[in-house]
Chain A
Amino acid sequence: MSSDSLPSQVSTAIIGGGIVGNSLAYHLARMGRDDIAIVDKGPLPDPGGSTGHASNFLMPVEHSKEMTNLTQRSIEQYKDMDTFTNSGGIEVARTDERVEELKRRVQSAKAWGEPAELLTPEEVEDLVPYVNTDLIKAGFYSTGAGTCDPLRAGEVMRARADEYTDGGLHVSPNTEVLDLHVENGSIQAVETDRGTVTADEVVIAAGLWSPKIAEMAGVDIPLTPAVHQMVSVGPISFFEDYEGEISFPVVRDMDTQMYERQHGNDLEVGSYQHRPILWDVEDIPSIDEAPLSPTQPPLTEDAFEQSMADALEIVPELLDDPEAGIRHEIDGLLSQTPDGAPLLGPLQDVDGLWSCAAVWIKEAPAIGEAVAQWMTRGWSDIDLHGADVNRFYEYGNSRSFVKDRASEGFQKIYDIVHPAEQYQSARELRTSPFYEKQADLDAEFFEAAGWERPQWYESNSDLLDRYEDELAEFQRPNEWDSRWWSPIILAEHLHTREHVSMIGDMGFSIFDFRGSDVVDYLERMAVGRVDVEVGKTVYTPILAENGGFVSDLTIARLGPEHYRVVTGGAAGGSDRAWFGDHIPDDADVTMIDRSESLCTLGVWGPNARDVVDSVTEEDMSHDAFEPYTAQKITVGEVDAWAMRLSYIGEQGWEIYAPMGQGRRLWDVLWEAGQDHNVRPAGMGVYGTTGRLEKGYRLFGHELELEYNPAEAGLTFHGVKDADFIGKEAYAEAIDEENTATLCTLSVDDHAPEGGERRFMLGNEPVLDENGDVLVDDEGRRSYVTSAGTGPSVGKHLLMAYLPQSHAEEGKRLQVEYMGQQYPVTVEVVGSRPLFDPENDRIRS
């Protein structure tokens, strides 16, 4: 390894020599990059960032599949480098609510394939004799958990990278980055205080300094340094009899948002309970100026007071050891993002510039690997969409937004977070022109990608009486099941299927493409054939080379050289980056983001035509405006554009209008709708109830990189002649028999043991008759990808990929929810809609 040297040219420059930068270098080298530089302003092996002060334990089980998989994979890597100690870890519950949460943890552990079990307080005591079991009601035991040595791992990774590159790894510590050179939208070079290195690709892996580095290239990495308080107490005589760094499971005292873990003869006590303490990156001292390290400022004493009381309560024997004192105490700085997930991937405004930031020790080796895969071949084995750095693009990069959300998110780190829980801060950021009207109708707003979207309308509560009989068996008596939910959603659904509703704005991302090469370009992007007649729409998967899903969206042809792509709001940032990155340099293709200039209103239901036709200049009859086509229309005074399609399987249109005229569009349609029993309906109908009855797949739930279109049941396009990204894998997937197939299931009994009827919410493991989780031949486990009630079919519906052996209609299986198993039946194998299977309604 050429250490301490800065070459003038490399193919890949990595800024940051913490665990993330080292992991990236190693995996890039393994994948064939032979010319890599690591630059860090600090010394090695500990350059002074969070890698140097983390508590270094890895608890693999989370409710996110991807984060769990990343930690599992990281543990494998730490083991391989001989830097992992398998101590196990126990989350203890002090409250009944937490006991339920621990059951949900076991459920997630089963779903994601990690051994775990619930423990009684006595069993906790057997494993960790110093825990005050009088305080606890249960424990969640993650046997695979443990601790690692990230500094040593970094050394091993650098050494391995050096071997793979045959000396092509250049490590330059004590080197401060002064500027990033960007020309014509592409990264050119990294300027440092020890010279400038030109590079084809630059990765910002600088932890909490990443925003500062990104700013040098004029782009945003939205994170903020946040304090995590930690103290170390010792020497504790109890530990003197045990050899090694750790002999007892790490204890997470979840209800106090703290952990206690042995470290030699010390006990490390960490807290996420204190008030959020956020730093500005500019205020972090330099290495020279910092007494301990830049990321270890002195403990804010008053904020730690309650934490000390709680720690003394849960492990009194250790902390009251007369010999033991607080030997080390810090406000450890870590990176906090607006939603808690990492910030990974290509920064879309600068070609060749990547982000690999806000990564924890527990997932760093696997994230280094996944990002290296992304960089070298275009996709990663573990889907990183939820961590795409572009997800806050054009709405959530401001310092104010980042701080508000980071403050709120900090408090959720050990909290019990409902899957539908909404952020309360930085709200009403993106509002459609319908917002005031919807607020007047008592809309309950949920947020997606900053957009305020009605989930349901309290003004529709009268519908609960009208549909009382249909809804009776779908009321949710359990508080958890009904949190962030209302039976009004089901009533709105029934009303929509019987009459007509207005749904919008959906917060779509909308991109227009123009140019003489636009047909060739879009053909290459999409599975479906896009060289269709002007006025046609194409719903199509967008794939990576491996045949996994990058997105699914609708492409409409507006003119010979003009297309419009409509995709989900949450996927907008990453889709925009994907489409933008794939425009060839020499192609005549222009991409225009219309997301903030067009609003969208859906008018759907059997009465939709009556409503719309009464106020449009155009003939809206079935023959004049066929299904799956698009036209310009004038609604009242508003010049708009409409597609005749519906995500809930009803007659009707998605109508697009300039934001400035959106309010008028709403008023005109609302007034016209009064004669046709129109109601407003929320995203609950659009995103869940209507969608599930129709078997429509949702990106990020059913559609992801680990499953291909054949498995998802989306091969209706066949294999077109034109080349497109993922074609080979796609054609192969169609030819081969599926390993798993996406199915729709229904719950047979919501209270098999009597008592309260429970309703699954998603992510539950699917089990066979013996209670074993279904696993397909590729090792992928079956779990519920989406869950929701289908009021028109009278069933609570679940989607799940099932191994071929179990993908059989009528097959009886089980789903585990909150520690209880529920019988379910496979209703549909593949994408056939459960409701209106012939799609007569859309075609009506």
Chain B
Amino acid sequence: MDTVACIKRVPDTGAKLTLTDDEQHIDTSHLGFTISPHEECAIEEAIQVADDHDGTATVLSLGPADADEQLRTGLAMTADEATLLETDGAEWRPRETAAALADALSGDADDPDFDLCLFGNESADVANHQVGIRVAEQLDIPFVAGVTDLTIADGKAVAERDVTGGTEVYELDLPAAVGVKEGMNEPRYASMRAKMQARKQSIERQDPVAGEFDGAIEKVKLEAPESTDGAAEVLGEGTDAVPAVIDLLRDDLEVV
């Protein structure tokens, strides 16, 4: 069973975001790049499913030449193959991205050359929640978003997702696509040897098909979120701190 994880190169989060002067982009001069957490789980799942069912796991990305780095991370996690739909670095909107991915995934004769395609539920940077379902629509395969558990049996995929007060369970005919949520699995850290080998592996590069779409969303500008005052408060030292910790957990955070 062959799997594909679609991933995106995004700025490393966890730091204060600064914008370029034209407010069109995040200033990435101090930032590293990474893969969205949901997509890390997608890669992990793609690898596990392929391993369990004697298939091939592929990581696929649409992005600039530097997205190579994220694909190699996927290879280092032991995905078998990697494909980059290389752009010139300009931002692709969800519809265009989905069309290009669908084109790359559709295979030669409208018969998708994969059994299971995994997306992150949404990307960590723009979070449009669109690409996965658009790809599925274009390829005419079933799609479930928000998936937190996935099992493959008897040629079908069983996907679960959490909803308020319970769990929804879907059975999907293959080939199928899912939007994966963080927490579905624990993505592995790449071993040093795998990482080294990944650096030597070749990545297939393709020119993405550029579709023409009208009426798509236009980005006007970005706004950096207000920085929250994250100053730490010392609640006390040693056992003296216990009452304050209990109050916080019980009353403020309502977790106990």
Q: Which of B10-18, B133-141, B244-252 contacts A (4 or more CB under 8 A)?
A: B10-18
* B25 → chain A closest CB, angstroms: 15
For window 175-202 of B, CB contacts with A under 8 Å fall at: 188-193, 195-196, 199
In contact, B196 and A291 (Cβ under 8 angstroms): no
* A487 interfacial contact with B, CB 8 Å: no
In the complex, what residues of B have CB within 8 A of residue A291's CB?
12-15, 31-32
Query: Given known contacts A290-B15, A291-B13, A291-B15, is B190 in contact with A301 (CB within 8 Å)?
Result: no
Q: Report chain A residues within 8 Å CB of B190.
A: 325-326
Interface digits, A315-337 against B, CB 8 Å rule (1 contact, 0 not)?
A: 00001111011110000000000
Contact status A285-B30, CB under 8 Å: yes
Using CB atoms, name the residue of chain B closest to A234.
B189
B199 near A305: Cβ-Cβ < 8 Å = yes
Are A289 and B12 interface neighbours, CB within 8 A?
no
Contact assessment for A43 and B12 in the assembled complex, using a CB-CB cutoff below 8 Å: no
**Interface hits, B1-60 → A, CB 8 Å:** 12-16, 18, 29-33
Q: Which residues of B contact A325 (CB under 8 A)?
A: 188-191
Asked if B31 and A233 sit within 8 Å, CB to CB, the answer is no
Q: CB-defined interface of A746-790 with B at 8 Å, one 1/0 digit per residue?
A: 000000000000000000000000000000000000000000000
At the interface, is chain B mostly helix, strand, loop or mixed? loop
- In the assembled complex, which residues on chain A have CB atoms less than 8 Å from the CB atom of B196? 305, 308-309, 312
Q: Give B207 Cβ to nearest chain A Cβ, in Å.
A: 25
Complex CA distance for A546 and B196, rounded to whole angstroms = 57
* Beta-carbon contact of A308 and B192 below 8 Å: yes
A289:B16 contact, CB within 8 angstroms:
yes
Q: 8 Å CB contacts to B: which residues of A254-301?
A: 269, 283, 285-286, 288-292, 297-298, 301
Whether the pair A320, B32 counts as a contact (CB closer than 8 A) is no
Q: Chain A: which residue is nearest B198 at the CB level?
A: A301
Contacts of B18 in A (CB 8 A): 289
Q: How far is the CA of A174 from the CA of B33 in the complex (A)?
A: 27
Which of A286, A311, A324, A325 gathers most chain B CB within 10 Å?
A325
Nearest-neighbor residue (CB-CB) of A44 within chain B: B232
Q: Which residues of A lie under 8 Å from residue B32 when comparing CB positions? A: 291, 297-298
Q: How far is the CB of B232 from chain A (nearest CB, A)?
A: 7
Cβ–Cβ < 8 Å partners of B227 in chain A? 288
Please report the total number of B residues contacting A with Cβ < 8 Å. 25
A298 touching B12 by the CB < 8 A rule?
A: yes
Q: Could you tell me the distance in whole angstroms from the C-beta of B84 to the nearest C-beta in chain A?
A: 16
Q: A320 contacts B193, CB within 8 Å?
A: yes
Q: Is the CB of A326 within 8 A of B30?
A: no
Select from chain B the residue with minimum beta-carbon distance to A320. Answer: B193
Judging by beta carbons under 8 Å apart, are B199 and A289 in contact?
A: no
Q: Please state if A327 and B30 are interface contacts (CB–CB under 8 Å).
A: no
Query: How many Å lie between the Cα of A309 and that of B72 in the bound state?
Result: 17
User: Considering only CB atoms, which chain A residue lies closest to B12 in the complex?
Assistant: A291
Q: Is B103 an interface residue (CB 8 A)?
A: no
Q: Which residue on A lies nearest to B196, using beta carbons?
A: A308
Report the bound CA distance from A301 to B189 in whole Å: 15
The answer on a CB contact under 8 Å between A289 and B15 is yes
Cα distance A290–B15 when bound, in Å?
Answer: 5
**Which of chain A's residues have a CB closer than 8 A to the CB of B16?**
286, 288-289
* CB of B173 closer than 8 Å to a CB of A: no
- Quick one: given A301-B69, A305-B199, A308-B196, are A288 and B191 in contact (CB under 8 Å)? no
Contacts of A320 on B, CB cut-off 8 Å?
A: 191, 193
Separation of A54 and B12 alpha carbons in the complex (Å):
22
A320 to B31, CA, bound (A): 30
A-B residue pairs in contact (CB < 8 Å), sample of 5: A283-B30, A291-B15, A298-B32, A305-B196, A325-B190
| Interface residue ranges, A against B (CB under 8 Å) | 43, 174, 231, 233, 269, 283, 285-286, 288-292, 297-298, 301-302, 305, 308-309, 311-312, 319-322, 324-327
Knowing that A291-B14, A325-B188 touch, tell me 14 more A-B residue pairs with CB under 8 angstroms: A233-B192, A285-B15, A288-B16, A292-B14, A297-B32, A302-B199, A305-B196, A305-B199, A308-B192, A312-B196, A319-B191, A324-B191, A325-B190, A326-B191
